[in-house]
Amino acid sequence: MVKPLSVIDAGEARDVYLALRDALTGDGPAVLPRQTGGSADVTASVPQNVALVVETSGSTGAPKRVALSADALLASAAASAGAIGGQEPGTARWVLALPTHYIAGANVLVRSIVAETEPVVLRPGHFDPATFCAAADALDSDQRFTSLVPVQLARLLDAALGAVSAGDSRMLTTLRRFDALLIGGQALQPDLRDRALDAGLHIVRTYGSSETGGGCVYDGTPIGTVRARALDSRIELAGPVLAEGYLDASGALDAPLTESAFHTDDGVRWYRTGDLGTVDADGRVRVTGRADNVIISGGEKVSLDAVQAAVRRHPGFGEAVVVPAVSEEWGQVPAVVVAAPAALGLEELRALVQGELGNAAAPGRLLEVERVPLLPSGKPDRVTLAALVASL
């Protein structure tokens, strides 16, 4: 059986909110929030149990259409509320600071619906700390939450601490009033985490993806009934939050693509993530990098995530991005892209990384740009960066 699919402008957050509310109760069609000028058209129908379709960002490859049921979305919201609070109807309100066509933004709407409240919505576009804090001050609830990516958290901290230095603590007070600021979408660097904690902010690191109904691991611990394991160093997740799978262009479930990521083992359905990492005896998850973000340089495997982590530990490189570059001598080498001016030259950077990770990991190129391009989700646009490096 199939049901209609409603494509809604992701910039109209309240329209998406109302449509999602109907989809979660079964009274309305499935919802596909889409950024204006998004990808190719999709069919007008999807499988009956689908409530939300999320088009993945494609930050490292081709986008996919992830189909989520109402049960998965509600399980995700319940697990989150159990972890951070906000279970009593009418007590929790959210600030929506992320696009609704990404799972983190859609989840703010779902959790608001479950809480029987409406979020305070920021206008799409450039993230402005003062505007965010003004929206937060408009919350009239016992509990306050928001979901952010690390770059947004960094901008809020810079603005709030800068204001404190000038004798104005109002912005910092506003940020401290949040019961939780969920930080996800990409790795939260230790120095940024420490700055936030030292400032008295209640941050929660989240890990998950569209395929897991959004963040389902908080501060390294699976929430609700979510389970985690590592097979061949690849992280796998299981639980009621998992998506139905991927849709093809006709709106039907794409069986081959779905089976490449989801599988059943001893009666348990698992999602095989694209991340490398470990899960300890207590179930705590540690992500070490992307399985598909590895190059062969001079015959040796090099994790670009490990190189990026090493580079970012040096002052001035906190938001640097490492992408692959072709090398006639080595096959491939890491290329570092950083906002100008770079704090170190290539040879200095090579020596620092080489001492930590070995010869093969030493960056072969250093590219300075005016601004590192980001996707609407706040993640670095690695496809654009790799193409830029390749063009030089």
In the block, which residue shows the tokens 């949040």?
178
Q: How confident is the model at residue 183 (pLDDT cuts 50, 70, 90)?
A: very high
Say if 258 falls within a structural domain. no
CATH classification of the domain holding 78? 3.40.50.12780
Q: Tell me: the pLDDT tens digits for 248-299?
A: 988 999 999 999 999 999 999 999 999 999 999 999 999 988 888 888 898 8
107-128 mean pLDDT: 93
pLDDT at 106: 97
Global confidence as pTM: 0.84
Structure tokens at 69: 């049921």
Residue 63, pLDDT above cutoff 80: no
Q: How far apart are the first and last CA of the chain?
A: 52
pLDDT at 186: 81
54 lies in the same domain as 202? yes
Say if 223 falls within a structural domain. no
Residue 290: exposure state from Cβ atoms within 10 A (0-12, 13-18, ≥19): middle
Residue 392, pLDDT above cutoff 90: no
21-48 mean pLDDT: 81
Residue 57, pLDDT above cutoff 80: no
Domain that holds residue 369: 293-391
Say if 131 falls within a structural domain. yes
pLDDT at 40: 46
Say if 140 falls within a structural domain. yes
338: Cβ contacts below 8 Å, ≥ 6 apart:
316, 317, 319, 320, 321, 366, 367, 368, 369, 372
CA atoms of 333 and 323, how far apart (whole Å)? 9
336 lies in the same domain as 191? no
Say if 106 falls within a structural domain. yes
149 lies in the same domain as 28? yes
Most confident of 43-52, 197-206, 303-312: 197-206
* Domain termination site, one of 162, 183, 209: 209
Tally the C-alpha atoms within 13 A of residue 96's C-alpha that lie toward its C-beta: 30
Name the H helices within the chain.
Answer: 13-25, 70-84, 103-115, 129-137, 150-165, 170-176, 190-198, 255-261, 304-312, 346-357, 382-391
CATH classification of the domain holding 349? 3.30.300.30
Residue 175: exposure state from Cβ atoms within 10 A (0-12, 13-18, ≥19): buried
Q: How confident is the model at residue 377 (pLDDT cuts 50, 70, 90)?
A: low
39 lies in the same domain as 171? yes
176-194 mean pLDDT: 92
pLDDT at 300: 87
Say if 262 falls within a structural domain. no
31 lies in the same domain as 135? yes
115 lies in the same domain as 16? yes
Q: For the ranges 29-38, 87-96, 381-390, which has the lowest average pLDDT?
A: 29-38
CA atoms of 48 and 69, how far apart (whole Å)? 9
Residue 11, pLDDT above cutoff 70: yes
CA dihedral 242, 248, 250, 252 (to 10 degrees): -40
Q: Tell me: the pLDDT tens digits for 128-167?
A: 999 999 999 999 888 999 999 888 999 999 999 999 999 9
CA atoms of 12 and 123, how far apart (whole Å)? 9
The DSSP code for 124 is S
The count of other CB atoms within 10 Å of the CB of residue 375 is 18
Residue 93: exposure state from Cβ atoms within 10 A (0-12, 13-18, ≥19): buried
pLDDT at 131: 97
* Domain termination site, one of 209, 238, 263: 209
pLDDT at 39: 47
* Domain termination site, one of 166, 185, 209: 209
Please report, rounded to a whole number, the percentage of residues in the chain having pLDDT higher than 90.
70
Q: How confident is the model at residue 43 (pLDDT cuts 50, 70, 90)?
A: low
Say if 204 falls within a structural domain. yes
Single-letter amino acid, residue 254: D
55 lies in the same domain as 149? yes
The count of other CB atoms within 10 Å of the CB of residue 43 is 14
pLDDT at 41: 53
pLDDT at 366: 94
Q: Return the SS3 of 327.
A: strand
353-378 mean pLDDT: 88
DSSP β-bridge partners for residue 58? none
63 lies in the same domain as 159? yes
Please report, rounded to a whole number, the percentage of residues in the chain having pLDDT higher than 70.
96
pLDDT at 223: 98
Q: How confident is the model at residue 61 (pLDDT cuts 50, 70, 90)?
A: low
217-223 mean pLDDT: 98
Look at the chain and report how many structural domains it folds into: 2
Mean pLDDT of the chain: 91
Say if 221 falls within a structural domain. no
100 lies in the same domain as 199? yes
Most confident of 268-272, 316-320, 383-387: 268-272
